[in-house]
Amino acid sequence: MRDWSKLIAELSAANLTQEQIGTHCGAKQSTISDLKNGKTSMPSYDVGRKLVELHAQVMATKAAA
């Protein structure tokens, strides 16, 4: 099981807002907030997949910098 809170915190640390994360994933900002705060423990498949993809992309860009 993924640690969605940590994943979103790392995206936020890379200067992405919850609204930007949600837009990329096709989710509302409130959904991203609920995942980060543990109010929701499991996103839909599509949102989860897009979060993982965004995280990988952002971390690869950060590592290359």
- Write out pLDDT tens, residues 7-59: 999 999 999 999 999 999 999 999 999 999 999 989 999 999 999 999 999 99
Q: Is domain 4-64 classified as CATH 1.10.260?
A: yes
Where do the domains of the chain lie? 4-64
Q: What is this structure's pTM?
A: 0.91
Residue 51, pLDDT score: 97
Tell me the three state secondary structure of residue 42.
coil
Whole-number Å distance between alpha carbons of 8 and 42: 13
Which residues contact residue 21 at a Cβ distance below 8 angstroms, ignoring those fewer than 6 apart?
Answer: 8, 11, 12, 27, 32, 51, 54
**Position 3 confidence tier, pLDDT thresholds 50, 70, 90:** very high
CA nearest to 22, candidates 14, 32, 12, 13: 32
From CA 7, how far away is CA 39, in angstroms rounded?
15
